[in-house]
Structure 1
Amino acid sequence: MSDIDVTIAGLHVHPVKSCAGVSLPEVLLIETGFEFDRAWMVVDADGEFLSQRELPRMALVATELRHSELVLRAPGMLALHLALDTAEAATRVRVWDDEVAAYDMGDLAAQWFSDFLRQPLRLVRFDPEQKRLSNRAWTGTIEAENAFSDGYPILVISEASLAGLNERLAAKDLPPVTMQRFRPNLVLTGLDAHGEDHLDEIAFDTPEGPVRLKLVKPCPRCPIPNVDPATGVPGTEPGDTLAGYRADERVGGAISFGMNAVIVEGLECVLRVGQVGGASIRF
């Protein structure tokens, strides 16, 4: 039984962690979330992951998923084409507190990222045999797998939440920001601003079968939304404005925007833009 109808307004995949994402008309649900989301990651010589926190120019790396390849583009660089079904040497890398198995994508990809980001780097792909799990303190009995995401497979945000932020920015004579800054996977309509904060589950009936997503943890925000995705230049907004009304006691007073979700049911099902589902409110 659902309490409110919601509609999928956008589906976003970020193939390379912290690089630009791509909007898709449909996505396949796999164990780690949306297929190809955060499947690749940039690491330093020690195998430690890097993001826009340290290298804001990563925002300028555009991604495109074709039938059989990932295509990367960046200002002043030739396009880099990587076959989706290939990877090179096995390696170990670190993402936050987790050391995980991965595959190095080779010297050409390493040189491409090193040249654009101006320091020695490698590109790696997540090993699908690896099980990297979300924090059970938030997921409870659900064993939620992740690739290179920050810790949960799917990030959900409503269009109304962004509209509410942009109203506050306009009141300060500041320009609006796009959803791109917040890097969600699933964007919904049908909710009030931050209505996603109060949802328990979202369900969709797909031709492949039922999908159920459980919203488990508010998404605490680092400075990445302050990086302009068009220029790769960091600033202070929208962080300063969010600090005025989005301190969230559920995550220790951190600024939150959006909700992390895990998959209860629906592996190998396809979500499509325009799909209508039902959401239940957490009481």
Structure 2
Amino acid sequence: MSDFDITITGLHVHPVKSCAGVSLSEVLLIETGFEFDRAWMVVDAGGGFLSQRELPRMALVATELRHSELVLRAPGMLALHLALDTVETPTRVRVWNDEVAAYDMGDLAAQWFSDFLRQPLRLVRFDPEHRRLSSRAWTGPLEAENAFSDGFPILVVSQASLDELNARLAAKDRPPVAMQRFRPNLVLTGLDAHGEDHLDEIAFDTAEGAVRLKLVKPCPRCPIPNVDPATGVPGTEPGDTLAGYRADARVGGAITFGMNAVIVEGIECVLRVGQAGGASIRF
């Protein structure tokens, strides 16, 4: 029995880690979260990942998922088309403290990113045979697989949380920010502002079967939400405003927005915008 009725109002996939995401009407749930989410990643010559923390212009790389290809666009660049079923050389790369198996996407993709971001870079794709797991300190007995996400397969945010932030920004005569700043996968209505902080599980009955997601860890926020996705220029908001009311003792007082979730049930099910479900409170 659910404590709250919820509805999916947004489904977002970020194919290339730290580049712009794409909003979809439906997504397939796979072992690592949403299909194609953080499946590709930009790395330096040593195989270490790069993000908007170091290269805020990554926000300007737009992504589009077509039937058989990923299309990347950026200001001043011709579109880069990558076949979804093609990779090149096996390699090893680093994402945070994890060394993982991946595939290099070839010289054309490497040159494209190197030209736009103005330093030598490579593009890699996650090897689906590699098992990269979330921290068991947060998932307990569940083994939650990830691709190139920061550490958990799915990020959940309620629309009310963004509405609350924008009300606080308006009170300071600051412009509103869009949900894309926070790069969630799953956006919900039916909750109060930051009601996701207190949930245990959310569940949906899809056409393919039951989906259950367990919310396990608040999402600490780095400076990436301060990067304007329209310009790629970093600022100080909304971080300054969030710092005034979003310190979370569960993660050492870090500023949080949204909850990281893991999959309990529902691999190969499809989530759809407008899907109704239920949420249970953590006791």
User: Over aligned residues, Cα RMSD in angstroms?
Assistant: 0.2
Deviation readout 1:107-137 (Å, 9 max, x if unpaired): 0000000000000000000000000000000
2:91 equivalent in structure 1: 91
Residue 8 of structure 1, CA deviation? 0.1
Name the CA distance, whole Å, in 2 between partners of 1:261 and 1:37.
Answer: 14
Q: Which whole-Å CA distance do the structure 1 matches of 2:205 and 2:168 have between them?
A: 36
Q: Which runs of 4+ in 1 moved over 6 A?
A: none
Instruction: Confirm or deny that 1:245 pairs with 2:254.
Output: no
2:273 alignment counterpart: 273
Partner SS state of residue 71, structure 2: strand
For residue 216 of structure 2, what is the aligned residue in structure 1? 216
TM-score normalised to structure 1 length: 1.00
What are the within-5 Å matches in structure 2 for residues 170-181 of structure 1? 170-181=170-181
User: Which whole-Å CA distance do the structure 2 matches of 1:87 and 1:55 have between them?
Assistant: 25
Shift of 1:187: 0.1
Q: Percent identity?
A: 90
Offset at 1:250? 0.3
Paired amino acid for 1:139: T
Distance (whole Å) between structure 1 residues aligned to residue 95 and residue 199 of structure 2: 29
CA distance in 2, matches of 1:230, 1:207: 37
Q: State the SS of the aligned residue for 1:143.
A: coil
* Counterparts of 2:161 and 2:77, CA distance in 1: 35
**Paired positions, count:** 283
Map Cα deviations across residues 87-107 of structure 1 (whole Å, 9 max, x no partner): 000000000000000000000
Matching residue's letter, 2:228: D
Question: Which residue pairs with 2:80 in the alignment?
Answer: 80
Give the 3-state SS of the residue equivalent to 1:108 in structure 2: helix
**Shift of the alpha carbon at 1:233?**
0.1
Q: 5+ unaligned residues in a row in structure 2: which ranges?
A: none
- Counterpart position of 1:136: 136
Listed as ranges, the matches of 1:57-206 within 5 Å are 57-206=57-206
CA distance in 2, matches of 1:123, 1:114: 10
Counterpart residue identity of residue 50, structure 1: L
Alpha-carbon separation, structure 2, partners of 1:206 and 1:105: 34
Helix, strand or coil for the counterpart of 1:17?
A: coil
Secondary structure in structure 2 of the residue aligned to 1:258: strand
Report the AA paired with residue 86 of structure 2.
T
